[in-house]
Structure 1
Amino acid sequence: MTAPEVWTLASSALVLIMTPGLALFYGGLVRVRSVVNMMLFSVSAMGVVGVLWILFGYSMNYFAEGESGFAGSPFKDFGLMNTPPADFIGVGFGAVFAMITTALISGAIADRVGLGSWVLFSGVWATLVYFPVAAWVWGGGWIMNLGATLGTPDVIDLAGGTVIHINAGAAALALAIVAGKRLGFAPGSHKPHSVPLVTIGAALLWFGWIGFNSGLAATPADAGLILVNTLGAPAAGIVGWILVDVLRGKKPGVIGAASGAVAGLVAITPSALNLSPLWALLLGLIAGIACAFAIDWKYRLGYDDSLDVVGLHLVAGVIGSLYLGFFAFDDGLFTGGDAGLLLVQAISVLAVAVYSFVVSLVIAIGVKAVTGLRVPQTVEEGGIDAAAHGEEAYAIDPTTEPVPMR
């Protein structure tokens, strides 16, 4: 194997661990009685999407020579029967991206949706939304060719500002609207139960994000730039989020710091190869500040995005994608270019956001008609874990006598 192939293989493992990391991150943010349910959403997404990717998702993910339309044909390479083994590293790298993207959506529906409803939604969503959008942006589709069509620079989306974060964030908004609000939904009513779990999950996400952004780096110089930017932007995001909390009279905490890091990571995802480190720091700072304010929108607008998928991933994804139009090497408005790059970035952002929201809304309504979507009120009040899964995050034996202090 060549060195780039070895690195892509290693990066696949880094990205794979991000989804269990997300399970820990989300699990720590919910109440103790729904931790198993929340974590199982991420783990089940790995199972459902992994199977679909091998069956037909990879085939839909790209357009073969002479092929056009909505997405790649699911039948041209069904079950990878026509894919040479030499391409399997790339197949696996794409699979782990599909898994984490789908799992991200689940944070919007914590504490109130059953596993069966989520599994049905995730499988249909991956088929009708993720696989086609990935083909549009990375697989030879219309967004990938938008620059040539309009006579502008090509759309830049290194690792998924549109495909991953805007796509998942718009879907999360649609699903949260259809699912409705949690019982007792109000500011401060659903506090995270475990700061350590959130911290561990955030650490695994940042760890895996290095492979997420640099898995296809062509040269050591490219990999180095991506690495520095993937460290710098989330670092600045932490500073931005804590700064907002302090200025608003809030006490700074680990949850805010971890959220700031995620905001910076999301924002740098499309642009890690196309910004100087100084501009990456500014991007992370902007994303951390903006997302710290954005997570409050759900209370003002009345939608219950439980774990702030919209406020983090959609908002920071839009910021990171549009930011390239101003500061990308050579083609940004302030770096020697004109408005061409900003135009195609804006078109791609709007198209993916609208498509994902509309189709996700239809899928969610359909799932609700079939399964009811939400668990019964008594289950939500008593705890989903015990009623639906027969497991508890923390099994404490009530018969155990406390050890006396000496």
Structure 2
Amino acid sequence: MVGAAGLDGSLLAGVVIGEDSVEDEVELGSIPLLETPPGEQPPPSPRLLGYGGGYGGYGSGSSGYGTGYPPYGGGELVMMAGGTHIGVESLIQAAVILVIGVAIIISNIIILATFITMPGPKDVIMYYLMSLGVSDLVAGVVVVPLSVYPALVQRWVYGDAVCGLAGYLETTVWFAQLCTFMWISVDRYLAIRKPLRYETVQTKTRCQCWVVFTWITSMMLCCPPLLGFNSSSHWDAEAYVCWLDWGSMIAYAFTLIPMVLGPTLITLFYTYGYIFNTMRRLKTCVVGQDKEFITALTSNLANPDHAMSFVLVLAFWLSWGPCVGVRTYEYLTGHHIDVRFLHFAVFWLGALNSCWKSIIYIAMSPKFRRGLKLFCLSLCCQRKARNAELILDY
């Protein structure tokens, strides 16, 4: 019947082609299929599939490689375990976050251990640098690990309470670092502005009080979004982090940001402008200045901590500037920038700021290099460390 005009003896609707007898024909639908009881489906066994053909399946335009799973486009390697789709991009992003987290933890443990084990009296600026190390370590231990598994499975799995806590800690650490940079710039300014009275004005007790004040203030200023009636945080599925929901308290947010950023940025510009201007003037003219003042000023200007602290501030803004710029633009315009991996890249570039500090210390601080050498020797041999402590001049 059907197809007999084109093919002699062929049955297009059956399974027999050629001169076979009609008795051998098997009608479609006559073969019983295995049926699964209603409501019961065996769990899919873990399997690793090959590359999709760009349409969700290898050689298929609709389904994924005949597995019964929904298509996973993009030509990515897909791993299915318990129904979860994991692509190559997810694996790479999760691996990047994991590497950043491990680097933050290791580098800041080394920084804190080096500062703590340094023999002799501690400089005032060292307490501020230790505060920076603590904030980076908190981010590396608490905030970053919470993004690894969600990046792998492409969803937040820890609940709203943990998301709110992660967003709160993330914001608190950011504000604490920003204020700490301001106090560092003030400390460097006083070392140049009042070189003869610097040790009297900047005492260690006063410095420690400023550090405690900074942390308490940052924690209190970031609390109100957690007290909102709506959800206090939201999950960013592109950067794989939780943000505090400042939109629920928009008036408070518009008050807090200028109150923190304004004095901080003004202080940074003024203090470092004064420091570099003084360096320039000292090289050109010192007429009319007291000899003792000039000697103390020259000694303080020779301290590499001035340039190192400025590079720390510069690295902070170069790292976080793109993220702040993107989020500010999206909020003010109401337009979401739909660029692949943009939000992931700008946020985790900012997180890398927690790793740059160790490199800056090693490159620009001779005192930190000596302390690091002593710390490494103390890990290898206590006796060598004691001998090295006597040799190193602090």
Tell whether the structures are fold-level matches, with TM greater than 0.5.
no
Whose helix fraction is larger, Structure 1's or Structure 2's?
Answer: 1
| Higher-Rg member (1/2) | 2
- What TM-score do the two structures reach when normalised by structure 2? 0.29
